[in-house]
Amino acid sequence: MNILILGSGGREHTIAWKLNQSQKLSKLFVAPGNAGTASIAKNIPIGVNDFEGIKNIILSEGINMVVVGPEDPLVNGVHDFFLSDDLLKNVPVIGPEKAAATLEGSKEFAKEFMFKHNIPTAKYESFTSNDLEKGYSFLETLDAPYVLKADGLAAGKGVLILNDLEEAKRELKAMLVDAKFGNASATVVIEEFLDGIELSCFVLTDGENYKILPTAKDYKRIGEGDTGLNTGGMGAISPVPFADDVLMDKIEQRIVKPTVNGLKKDNLPYKGFIFIGLIMVNNEPLVIEYNVRMGDPETEVVLPRIKNDLVEVFDAVANQTLDTIDLDIDERTAVTVMTVSGGYPEAYEKGKQITGHDDIDSSIVFHAGTQFKDSKVVTSGGRVIAITSYGDNFKEALKVSYQNITKLHFDRMNYRKDIGFDL
């Protein structure tokens, strides 16, 4: 089977690494990919939203399956594009159709879905610029801190958590009236603040059946002790030590099942990953958000713990036979530590030469923002390389990642030295 992966980050390198282990794989392509994927697949220099460009590659390379990494092409309807094209409609796409991808593309849609299907989540109301005053009144009924969410995709920046009521009102106006996040904040969801510890549950569904994948927890803030600005993720651990069987059963019964059944009932075709962001309040799981893709860097710890042949698993998703697959999960803990460019998540420089990555053998090196330039590997993004290790527990695994990071070099390399500090 020839497979094309869309995307260019650590998530996509990990998916490529895992697919590459399968006997069933013939040729692997990644568009656009990075320096890491180039060593195990053929990189194709086209963007993930260039659907016509993707079509040409599918046809010219005889590709039999497409795996979509990021949310953007899904929300833009890449799956629907395939289904509506006579030459592409038999090429399976791993990733939901546009209507279902709206679970990530619109926070308001996701909240309505959860309320409709009795899935536990924070209370909320949503507002547009026409009802700014109503928004102010709703804020007055809540206790601090105040949670404001831009309805649409805002590159992970659309959620504000504010301690002061007046500031919350100012920000609400900035979002609704002054288009702080452009069109994404034309509608704003205001929700009750949930105080608790977060974890992520990953589900793979074929629309009929589902499998719960290993749990993971990521570390989003740039600074140690979870301080400073939000990033895409600075590290992750799988499994989450406090996610025991009792909790996982609650999550499955109250959240995963109603989600998959709700998708079916609402006629939202879904073949792909569902990433459910959860927060534990008094030991009860509530949904904070749905993403219609895997997490990054969570993928870098979740996939290395799945022992199955991923081509077989994706094939079962495409054929709606996921019920015939038994997942075989590695008992060990996997951790990943993300190295990032100095300055990230604010302005940073690119094009810094990376060395030492080939000298690491007791961890897995997943490239994120890297590319080849003049036959050297250089930085090309904020998150640069993730170092994944296994261990009997997360502390042992982290020791290995941290030892190996000392071999890696690029100018102004930064990383968090306290992944797992709160566990």
Q: Which residues form the interface with ligand GLY (CB under 6 A)? A: 218, 232-233, 291, 295-296, 298
Binding site partner of 360, from ligand AMP, ligand GLY, none, Cβ cut-off 5-8 A by kind: none
Binding site partner of 193, from ligand GLY, ligand AMP, none, Cβ cut-off 5-8 A by kind: ligand AMP
Structure tokens at 9: 């980050």
For 88, phi then psi, to 5°, come to -110, -15
Binding site partner of 300, from ligand AMP, ligand GLY, none, Cβ cut-off 5-8 A by kind: none
Closer residue to ligand GLY (CB): 171 or 218: 218
The CA–CA distances, whole Å, from 115 to 105, 123, 125, 170, 388 equal: 17, 9, 12, 28, 37
Binding site partner of 288, from ligand AMP, ligand GLY, none, Cβ cut-off 5-8 A by kind: ligand AMP
Helix (H) or strand (E) holding 161: strand 159-162
The yes or no reply on residue 108 touching ligand AMP (CB under 6 A) is no
- In the shown chain, the binding pattern of residues 251 to 290 toward ligand AMP, with x for contact by CB under 6 A and - for none, equals --------------------------x----------xx-
Closer residue to ligand AMP (CB): 13 or 149: 149
- Following DSSP, what letter does each residue of 173-232 receive, concatenated? HHHHTS-TTGGGGSEEEEE----SEEEEEEEEE-SS-EEEPPPBEE--EEETTTEEEE-S
Residue 199: CB atoms within 10 Å: 23
DSSP for residue 347: S
Closer residue to ligand GLY (CB): 291 or 370: 291
The count of residues in the chain is 423
Please give the residues from 88 up to 107 whose contact with ligand AMP meets the rule CB under 6 A. none
Least CB distance to ligand GLY at residue 278 (A): 13
Least CB distance to ligand GLY at residue 235 (A): 10
Instruction: Answer left, alpha or beta for residue 325, where phi above 0 means left and psi between -120 and 50 means alpha.
Output: beta
Please give the residues from 282 up to 341 whose contact with ligand AMP meets the rule CB under 6 A. 288-289
Instruction: Answer left, alpha or beta for residue 232, where phi above 0 means left and psi between -120 and 50 means alpha.
Output: alpha
Closer residue to ligand GLY (CB): 42 or 157: 157
Closer residue to ligand GLY (CB): 92 or 96: 96
Closer residue to ligand AMP (CB): 145 or 342: 145
Q: Are 397 and 335 in contact (CB under 8 A)?
A: yes
DSSP for residue 412: T
Q: Side by side, which strands form the sheet with 124-128?
A: 124-128, 187-191, 146-150, 159-162
Least CB distance to ligand AMP at residue 52 (A): 31
| Interface ranges with ligand AMP (CB under 6 A) | 122, 147, 149, 159, 161, 191, 193-194, 198, 277, 288-289
